[in-house]
């Protein structure tokens, strides 16, 4: 695998720890804000460091999703990788959360981030390296089903108001888990194959 593609795929390791770190830093400077009952985007309404830190969290993780999507597309070897395009759109939607405030239609790019429901499964099918692994199938299935459950909770109003901040963080972390595990998996597999080739 070319070095630049390894670099792009490595971006998949960033969103999960990046967003958690900066969003937690934002809550530290927001007295009265509850991570359990309030969505992360509500920090944008608090001037100063909370708003700035959340913008860093959203824009940084969104940019990493976009870079990962490009690397995943190149790794798949297909002319048009729909799954990778899904991650790219999701990354742009995530970044938009840090640019435009709640209430603006451009916050989340008109809910375009919902494409993350199909991005893992389609990316899995488009990657020859991933589709061969039954263990990785379990990861993809878990992330995909979790995304559908979270959407269902919101559509039927079953997401408990007292815990909606917690459920958002749990399910968004599960969503970010797929690129994280995928990046590790593909980079490790490439290293193993490279080592075998050197031994030959």
State residue 198's pLDDT score: 45
3-state secondary structure of 159: coil
State residue 191's pLDDT score: 59
In the chain, where are the structural domains located? Answer: 3-199
Q: In whole angstroms, give the CA distance from residue 71 to residue 63.
A: 13
* End-to-end Cα spacing for the chain: 17
State residue 194's pLDDT score: 42
State residue 65's pLDDT score: 98
Q: In whole angstroms, give the CA distance from residue 177 to residue 14.
A: 10
H-helix or E-strand containing 186?
A: helix 164-199
Beta carbons of 168 and 134 less than 8 angstroms apart: no
Q: What pTM, to 2 d.p., does this model score?
A: 0.92
3-state secondary structure of 14: coil
State residue 128's pLDDT score: 86
State residue 2's pLDDT score: 82
Q: In whole angstroms, give the CA distance from residue 89 to residue 106.
A: 13
Residues of the chain with pLDDT below 50 are 192-200
3-state secondary structure of 143: helix
């Amino acid at each position: 695998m070319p070095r630049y593609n390894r670099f792009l795929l490595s971006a998949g390791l960033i969103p999960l720890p990046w967003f958690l770190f900066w969003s937690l830093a934002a809550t530290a400077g927001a007295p009265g804000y509850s991570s359990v009952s309030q969505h992360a985007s509500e920090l944008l309404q608090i001037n100063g460091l909370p708003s700035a830190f959340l913008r860093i969290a959203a824009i940084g993780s969104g940019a990493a999703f976009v870079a990962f999507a490009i690397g995943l597309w190149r790794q798949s070897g297909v002319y048009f990788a729909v799954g990778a395009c899904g991650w790219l759109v999701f990354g742009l939607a995530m970044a938009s959360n840090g640019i435009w405030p709640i209430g603006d239609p451009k916050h989340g790019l008109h809910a375009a981030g919902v494409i993350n429901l199909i991005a893992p499964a389609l990316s899995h099918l488009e990657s020859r390296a991933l589709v061969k692994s039954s263990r990785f199938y379990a990861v993809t299935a878990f992330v995909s089903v979790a995304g559908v459950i979270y959407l269902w909770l919101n559509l039927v109003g079953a997401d408990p108001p007292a815990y909606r901040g917690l459920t958002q963080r749990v399910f968004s972390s599960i969503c970010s888990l797929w690129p994280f595990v995928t990046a590790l998996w593909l980079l490790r597999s490439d290293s193993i194959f490279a080592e075998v080739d050197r031994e030959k």
